[in-house]
Structure 1
């Protein structure tokens, strides 16, 4: 068995002694195992890009790359990766269940604009400039904070915006007797 693993994936060899075909097979095995682990980690918790998730991605990438190149034994590296994914799932579940823990691990949201008024203290606390906020509003088709009911910095770093409802414009039209058509165009 050891000879077969050594031949197929270069098990037990120094990384400099692993051939291209062995490295390719290692890459395929590690890729499939990582896809499986990420799928087991649940789409919602693994698909978000909070700092919490970025950390997992960096750690997984580091560990599995060492398994591919032979700088770490493949099975222990995959076991460590599976442990990280399981830990991520447990921490995500705990963050979902206990709000305070979720705030600690994933951070909170900040209201940057409410009813058209920019909260400069919250913008500063989020390490944003006024220009950063303006840029984000423009990307959402808004040119003035007065057009915003609420803009919130979300836990993943995105700014979500709820547009203010425009005031209804009332137009009074007096029509002379005998007029059959009135055309009103509002822009």
Structure 2
């Protein structure tokens, strides 16, 4: 099993190089699903629960599918990218909470305040130009200019 683990480790690195550097760099649902399934498939190769070579090929196919879908999403103009990768949601506009968006996405005011603290800004909504729930699930904040 140790030898299989070492082989799978290096094969997994090669497969990821064939795929896309962003696979584990982002945290969109699209990328997280691949990570979970990829790990599950490769664990079967290590433990011997599945045939070794077909399991590695399945991992390669999965990574190539991810890469292919990412390319299609990048080039699509009909919303496929938003379907695959998700889309950002506006939570605050000119200091006003978008309560329907908060509710729909299960984001509380405490979540917003935490995001503000993490961005190093005050929790004063009147100073926020906009805030978004990003595709990764993180909240980004854009402050108003002093001229606004």
TM-score over 0.5 for the pair: yes
CA distance, structure 2, for counterparts of residue 130 and residue 39 of structure 1: 41
Match status 1:126 vs 2:108 = no
- Which of 49, 52, 57 is the aligned partner of 1:71? 49
Match status 1:164 vs 2:144 = yes
1:91-106 equivalences in 2 (<5 Å): 91-99=69-77, 100-106=79-85
1:72-87 equivalences in 2 (<5 Å): 72-87=50-65
Q: Look at both structures and tell me which one has the larger radius of gyration over its CA atoms.
A: 1
CA distance, structure 2, for counterparts of residue 26 and residue 135 of structure 1: 44
Q: Is the 1:110–1:153 contact (alpha carbons within 8 Å) kept by the matching residues of 2?
A: yes
1:45 positional shift? 4.4
1:60 positional shift? 0.7
Equivalenced residues, count: 146
CA distance, structure 1, for counterparts of residue 51 and residue 130 of structure 2: 51
CA distance, structure 2, for counterparts of residue 68 and residue 83 of structure 1: 18
Q: Match for residue 145 of structure 1?
A: 125
Q: Provide the TM-score with structure 1 as the length reference.
A: 0.74
Select the structure with the greater relative contact order (CA < 8 A; seq sep ≥ 6): 2
Q: Match for residue 44 of structure 1?
A: 22
CA distance, structure 2, for counterparts of residue 53 and residue 28 of structure 1: 24
Q: Match for residue 135 of structure 2?
A: 155
